[in-house]
Structure 1
Amino acid sequence: MLMLELFFIGICLFINALLAGSEAAFIAVSKSSLKALIRQGNEKAKLLLEMRENPERTLSVMQIGISFVGAFAAAIGGAGAGEKIAPWLVHHFGLKETSAELLSILLVVLPLTFASVVLGELVPKTLALRRSLSFSFVAAPWINFASRILYPTVILLEWTTKQIIALFPKKHTAPEDQEISSLDLENLISPLNKQYMVNLVKIEKTSVAEIMVKWDSVVSVNIADPIENVAITVISSGHTRLPILKDEEVIGILNSKEFFAFQKSGNSNWPSLARPIVAMQESVPILTALRILQEKHTHMGIIYLGTAKKGIVTMEAIFEEIIGDIYDEDDDGAIQKILSSRRHFK
């Protein structure tokens, strides 16, 4: 008989855990996340949104279930205490019947309350909050079914709740469809977008020195070079922008597209194409460098340590830190292969 009572109490705790978890998950899911899922064609989100639109009814069903199983478990535990534990205390410890009954109830109620709070409330609610959408999708059909079975009682509780709530002043808050919680973000943002966000956080503390092309590897042109030599350098480099040097000092940036258009028109004074340089120290954070390049409307910055040239940084390099490698048409060295074959046939 004792094992049967413990079995029923365990069943009650299990049902209580499901209802408590469903309640926490239901409250955690916002309408904005559900509407987003509906736009993506998620059918389960439609039912959950309907229930979310009328929270009084849904919460009434859950509270009826929680109250019922709690009362049932308490009744079983109380009956067992009165029938088995109290006589045992009287017989073995010589307690008075009244004292034995009180102590027997405490011996049952305290462990039952502890188990109910931990296993029936805290654990399921914590787990449900971690996976609010998944938990809600599983629970929604059952809660909806129960609301139909308990319709008269649910309607009464819903009406009473709304009447009492109406007595309190309304709090003006931002529309819920403009709000989104961290739990919603976790469920709505794809793994790739999450990685982008992580990368953005990382580069806030990363300096351009960590992503720059060191000056030893930079291809540049000299202001004294004839236009034919510059054309060869530009083509062989495969780069869109090259620093222009004068006595080892960077005086400008050459855009290859502008250069070839200029050359085709028959002009030879190519230094006139030099664009202003954007100089920055190597300690500058990447995001700051990005803002500087945006403000100056340029794609390349010259990196210095004091007055010494250290390298260059480009918009492409910064973007790659955020979204990953960007394939360049010349990454396979096609231009070098073409130039090499031409020299071979000559």
Structure 2
Amino acid sequence: MEDQIIPVSAVTGWELLFVLVATLVLMLFSGLTSAAETALTAVSKARMHQLEKDGEARAKSVNWLMAHREQMIGAILLTNTFVNVVSSALVTTVLVTLFGNAGVAAGAVLITVMVLVFCEVLPKTYAITNADGTALSIGRPVRIAVYFLSPVVDAIQWFVAMLLRIRGVKSQGLVDDQEEAEDAATEELRGAIDLHHIQGAVQTSDRNMLGGILDLKDLQVADVMIHRKAMTMIDGDMPPEEVLDRVLSQPHTRLPVYKGDPDNIVGILHAKDLLRAMSRSQGNVKAINIMSIVAKPWFIPDTSMLTDQLRAFLQRRVHFALVVDEYGALQGLITLEDILEEIVGEIRDEHDVPVSGVRQQQDGSVNVDGWVTIRELNRVMNWTLPDEEATTIAGLVIHEAQTIPDVSQVFSFHGFKFEVLRRQKNQITALRVTPAQAAEAASQGA
């Protein structure tokens, strides 16, 4: 049976005008919901939070929607699906009335093109390029729509949750565990900082400081302390004159004092306390009893986290602590300045000895003292050597080599070549580190 084509006169002009206007209105709603979905998922949370603090009322609606993300997405999808289905039905009905069954294919093609161009690509492209502005403009209407559609959306979400539960899948998109949420927030901040640094909006020094703040909660005291081999100490049995000479020759104002064994720390001598004692004795250094002016030492475990130790320094109003292991053996010392340097980088004053331990060579390699920490080397050279398994560059080589290497031995790992330059007993004291690109260039030039 042939398709019966109804004459155009069977559809009045008013009906055609109604369908045209209704379709345009529905398409407009569809485009707005698509733009809202894109803008409200791409908007900057930090910027909206700050705008709300500054008194921007529209930002309050945006933040509410981001806090109720599942309800927002459900309401937008419900509205978008409804208007697309209704507009498709209206157009297809008119085309079938005009052209019979052939109108079904024509309607499908026409609606597909209109929805794709005017309801998806165009509004979403605009929204993604102007996410904050679009979110602020459309946030309040979307919040009202979410409020009125919440019963339907809740019912749909409940049904979906039941289906997912049958499959053993959690329906909640947000992180429930507080520790996981904190880690996710930290990684988001770190990623944003690195991205802005690559784009040139954040300077390298600022990136290092911001990254240092984020790293504090993952670092232990043992990661940044001054090792016992690098400590300057005073023998409590030394004559006062020698103690004075030792204090004056050091750039530090606080020095540990030991009795007999260097592991037996009995006090901390402050240069100001020694100066006050000299004033009381009217310059007679021999009359000073060193042990009477030393302060009580403060011992902390090497497993203490840097954030906890920073708070402890501030609470106790002291800047110096001695680090011991689980057996009580002295491991090193840490100061408030050491923790601050993890954030702001090396802090030097007019009395500091400028020893960095990092010397860049003309061939692209870098000579590094074994005691230099991996974190400091990464900062100075803008490298990304891992510091999870070792604190110093010498420790990293030993960890990767699984042995104590000999002088002139060469290892390659993590995209770098490591050559042992000096070794004292079982300690690596100097290395030459060459990035893979510089090593390849040197081999090709040879």
Pick the TM interval, shorter chain.
0.5 to 0.7
Change (3 A) 1:115 1:321: same
Question: Which residue in 2 is equivalent to 1:281?
Answer: 301
1:106 and 2:96 aligned: no
Contact conserved, 1:278 with 1:296, CA < 8 A, in 2? no
Structure 2: 5+ residue stretches without partners: 1-26, 63-82, 149-184, 194-200, 282-286, 356-446
Paired residue for 1:238, among 239, 251, 260? 251
| Local SS of the residue matching 1:238 | coil
Provide the aligned C-alpha RMSD in A: 4.8
Question: Which residue in 2 is equivalent to 1:331?
Answer: 352
Residue 283 of structure 1 and its aligned partner are, at CA, apart by 2.0
Paired residue for 1:211, among 220, 224, 227? 224
Question: Which residue in 2 is equivalent to 1:42?
Answer: none
Residue 22 of structure 1 and its aligned partner are, at CA, apart by 12
Contact conserved, 2:257 with 2:268, CA < 8 A, in 1? yes
Change (3 A) 1:329 1:20: same
Contact conserved, 1:22 with 1:128, CA < 8 A, in 2? no
Structure 1: 5+ residue stretches without partners: 1-11, 39-48, 56-69, 87-95, 144-157, 169-180, 335-346
Q: Can you list the C-alpha shifts for 1:56-110, whole angstroms capped at 9, x where unaligned?
A: xxxxxxxxxxxxxx99xx99xx79x96xxx9xxxxxxxxx931112320111102
Q: Structure 2 counterpart of 1:100, which letter?
A: A
Q: For residues 27 and 200 of structure 1, what CA distance do their matches in structure 2 show?
A: 25
Q: Structure 2 counterpart of 1:242, which letter?
A: L
Q: For residues 286 and 310 of structure 1, what CA distance do their matches in structure 2 show?
A: 16
Question: Which residue in 2 is equivalent to 1:272?
Answer: 292
Change (3 A) 1:31 1:271: closer
| Local SS of the residue matching 2:337 | helix
Question: Which residue in 1 is equivalent to 2:127?
Answer: 125
Q: For residues 298 and 218 of structure 1, what CA distance do their matches in structure 2 show?
A: 19
Q: Structure 2 counterpart of 1:118, which letter?
A: E
Residue 221 of structure 1 and its aligned partner are, at CA, apart by 0.9
Q: For residues 193 and 35 of structure 1, what CA distance do their matches in structure 2 show?
A: 25
Contact conserved, 1:199 with 1:322, CA < 8 A, in 2? yes
| Local SS of the residue matching 2:249 | helix
Q: For residues 310 and 31 of structure 1, what CA distance do their matches in structure 2 show?
A: 45
Which protein has the bigger helix share?
1
1:304 and 2:319 aligned: no
Alignment of 1:49-128 (within 5 A): 97-128=99-130
Q: For residues 287 and 124 of structure 1, what CA distance do their matches in structure 2 show?
A: 44
Q: For residues 224 and 125 of structure 2, what CA distance do their matches in structure 1 show?
A: 46
Contact conserved, 1:21 with 1:128, CA < 8 A, in 2? no
1:254 and 2:261 aligned: no
Q: For residues 53 and 198 of structure 1, what CA distance do their matches in structure 2 show?
A: 30
Q: For residues 126 and 106 of structure 2, what CA distance do their matches in structure 1 show?
A: 29
Q: For residues 38 and 51 of structure 2, what CA distance do their matches in structure 1 show?
A: 17
Normalising to structure 2: TM-score of the pair? 0.43
Q: For residues 289 and 329 of structure 1, what CA distance do their matches in structure 2 show?
A: 27
Higher relative contact order (CA 8 A, sep 6+): 1
Normalising to structure 1: TM-score of the pair? 0.54
| Local SS of the residue matching 1:204 | helix
Residue 23 of structure 1 and its aligned partner are, at CA, apart by 9.7
Q: Can you list the C-alpha shifts for 1:150-205, whole angstroms capped at 9, x where unaligned?
A: xxxxxxxx9xx8xx99x99xxxxxxxxxxxx999xx79xx9466654432221211
Q: Structure 2 counterpart of 1:319, which letter?
A: L
Identity of aligned pairs, percent?
A: 19
Q: For residues 332 and 201 of structure 1, what CA distance do their matches in structure 2 show?
A: 29
Residue 234 of structure 1 and its aligned partner are, at CA, apart by 0.7
Residue 215 of structure 1 and its aligned partner are, at CA, apart by 0.8
Q: Structure 1 counterpart of 2:112, which letter?
A: L
Change (3 A) 1:53 1:278: closer
